[in-house]
Amino acid sequence: MSESAPSSAMERCHAVILAGGSGTRLWPLSRALFPKQLLALNGELTLLQQTVKRALDIFPPQRIHIVTNEEHVFEVRAQAKALDAALEDNVLAEPMIRNTLPALMLGLNAAMKQDAAPLLAVFPSDHMIHNAASWQRAVQAGAELAAQNHFVTFGIPPAHPETGYGYIHRGARIADGCYAVEGFVEKPPREKAEEFLRGGMHFWNSGMFVFNGEDLIAALETYQPALAAWWNTRTATSLRQGYSAIPSLSIDYGIMEHVSRIAVVEADFGWDDLGSWEAIFRLGEKDEQGCVVQGDAMAIDCENSLLLSRGGKLAAIGLKDVIAVQTRDATLLCAKDQVQRVREVVSRLKAEGSPLTEVHLTVHRPWGSYTVLEENAGYKIKRIAVHPGARLSLQRHYHRSEHWVVIQGTALVQVGDKEMLLSQNQWAEIPETAVHRLTNPGRIPLEIIEIQTGPYLEEDDIERFEDVYGRPKGGKNKSN
């Protein structure tokens, strides 16, 4: 934490970091199972880690709660633990995605185990802040307003007529840099955004908030009775059972558009939501021709373009005002002024049933990762990496057999009731329906090549019997 003395409001304020989004506008790099907040897009730290690190400057780790979902929880825990080991136990997993308001209530539930009447500062996990000191002052001002029963949001002074953000209409002054809110405006057309910029009475909506926990619960009772009913009976049922019955609601639609006493803090701290490839281009380091070139990319006579490759050589000649992003299994090409339409690509791919919106060729698991090297009808080849001391679940498959070859480290392989230790170049056969498990008993990473054969090779062909990471047992689980 910083050395400045906290206000009385900050002493009971908790940070709730929302880390469950999918980041579809940054496809193909951001995908459902490894979205943008888990990626390092502007430095060595991921966007999530940058957010957590910023929060640690003004909140003790025990008052930082990170809410994600079951698919991301192990990676989120690992990234949080890398910053502060105390954060590992403060990562909360939604059993199913229900938007930001139910996620916030999970954070409130955790905060109330420490403070009977907490304040909650709510931060998305994928924003970029350039001026940390100004951000801290804004959060402290927001906490003071929330302690006075205001519902607080943060408004960014607009730098240009942006049509991809919502806007906040500011009203009368409450305190220095703090105003009442007259209303909210959804993403406006260009003409209206230009009018807002000229008028000087509108902010960009940052999606950050500070709430008084008691006021939040009262607002649920009045405006969202179904969610309030779950909250009031949340200890009587399992989280999964209770969550399955609640509506999907954002904080904006569920709370902010209904309540009074809304305040906005003018937040001139150098903010960007990194929500599009245009933002990555705008904030990136440019060459003499105004191009941002990252990864294994080459630009010849290109101007004002983003060229990014995370898989294979990307060579571009004579491009101007173009976004080109390449991964091992997908490439995006679009005009720079059309980046908001990347969501259309994602929607069409989903409609086609394509896995390209869900997973990368490398998929991260709590025990390590696997990379699909090649696949075709009847076979799939993977490289599997297992952390030292880690193990996969005890499992079986009904529609495939597997052939494992160790290429690095030592493998402890269980097939049925037999165990064997394998070293480099040794192999094991896993027959169809055989109960099996892979463990790395060594001190260096274990890597194997897995060759799958069979009529059905999807990840949901798995029945799990035992898992050290607490994942659900039974069939239809999507990870090893």
382-436 pLDDT, tens digit per residue, is 999 999 999 999 999 999 999 999 999 999 999 999 999 999 999 999 999 999 9
Give per-residue pLDDT as tens, 60-81. 999 999 999 988 999 999 999 9
Helix 100-112 / helix 213-223 crossing angle, nearest 10 deg = 140
Average pLDDT over residues 439-453: 97
Q: Please tell me if the domain spanning 9-272 has the same topology as the one spanning 362-466.
A: no
- The residues near 301 (Cβ < 8 Å, ≥ 6 apart) are 289, 317, 318
Tell me the C-alpha to C-alpha distance, in Å, between residue 206 and each of 57, 153, 188: 20, 8, 15
The count of other CB atoms within 10 Å of the CB of residue 240 is 12
Give per-residue pLDDT as tens, 246-290. 999 999 999 999 999 999 999 999 998 888 899 999 989 999 999
Q: How far apart are CA 167 and CA 162, in angstroms?
A: 9
> What is the bridge-based pairing of β-strands 411-415 and 436-439?
antiparallel
* Alpha-carbon torsion, ordered 386, 392, 397, 399, to 10 deg: -20
Task: Yes or no: say if 386 and 367 are a contact pair by the CB < 8 Å rule.
Answer: yes
pLDDT of 6:
53
Q: How far apart are CA 42 and CA 36, in angstroms?
A: 11
pLDDT of 450:
97
Whether the per-residue pLDDT at 373 is higher than 90: the answer is: yes
Side-chain-facing half-sphere of 366: CA atoms under 13 Å: 18
Whether the per-residue pLDDT at 7 is higher than 80: the answer is: no
pLDDT of 43:
80
pTM here is 0.88
Helix 100-112 / helix 225-232 crossing angle, nearest 10 deg = 30
Sheet holding 394-396, edge to edge: 418-422, 411-415, 436-439, 394-396, 463-466
Residue 238, Ramachandran bin (φ over 0: left; ψ between -120 and 50: alpha; else beta): beta
Closest listed residue to residue 284, CA positions, set 83, 27, 42, 4: 42
> Percent of the chain scored above 90 by pLDDT?
87
Give per-residue pLDDT as tens, 214-248. 999 999 999 999 999 999 999 998 999 999 999 99
Dihedral sign computed on CA atoms, order 404, 405, 409, 411:
positive
Task: Yes or no: say if 41 and 147 are a contact pair by the CB < 8 Å rule.
Answer: no
Q: How far apart are CA 178 and CA 249, in angstroms?
A: 27
Closest listed residue to residue 125, CA positions, set 204, 212, 207, 7: 207
CATH homologous superfamily for 9-272? Spore Coat Polysaccharide Biosynthesis Protein SpsA; Chain A (3.90.550.10)
Burial grade of 371 (CB within 10 A; 0-12, 13-18, 19 or more)? middle
pLDDT of 3:
42
The count of other CB atoms within 10 Å of the CB of residue 108 is 21
pLDDT band of residue 2 (cuts 50, 70, 90) is very low
Residue 290, Ramachandran bin (φ over 0: left; ψ between -120 and 50: alpha; else beta): left
pLDDT of 474:
56
Q: How far apart are CA 6 and CA 354, in angstroms?
A: 50
Q: Residue 13's beta-bridge partner residues?
A: 119
The domains of the chain are located at: 9-272, 280-352, 362-466
Give per-residue pLDDT as tens, 8-28. 899 999 999 999 887 788 999
Whether the per-residue pLDDT at 473 is higher than 70: the answer is: no
The count of other CB atoms within 10 Å of the CB of residue 300 is 10
Task: Yes or no: say if 136 and 230 are a contact pair by the CB < 8 Å rule.
Answer: no
Average pLDDT over residues 173-189: 94
* Alpha-carbon torsion, ordered 62, 247, 356, 68, to 10 deg: 0
Q: Residue 211's beta-bridge partner residues?
A: 120
Instruction: Name the residue with tokens 């990368």.
Output: 360
pLDDT of 163:
87
Whether the per-residue pLDDT at 135 is higher than 70: the answer is: yes
Give per-residue pLDDT as tens, 192-211. 999 999 999 999 999 999 99
pLDDT of 264:
97
Cα three-residue angle 47-133-278, rounded to 5 degrees? 40
pLDDT band of residue 164 (cuts 50, 70, 90) is confident
Whether the per-residue pLDDT at 47 is higher than 90: the answer is: yes
Kindly report the CATH class assigned to 362-466: mainly beta
Please, what is the average pLDDT of the chain?
93
pLDDT of 273:
85
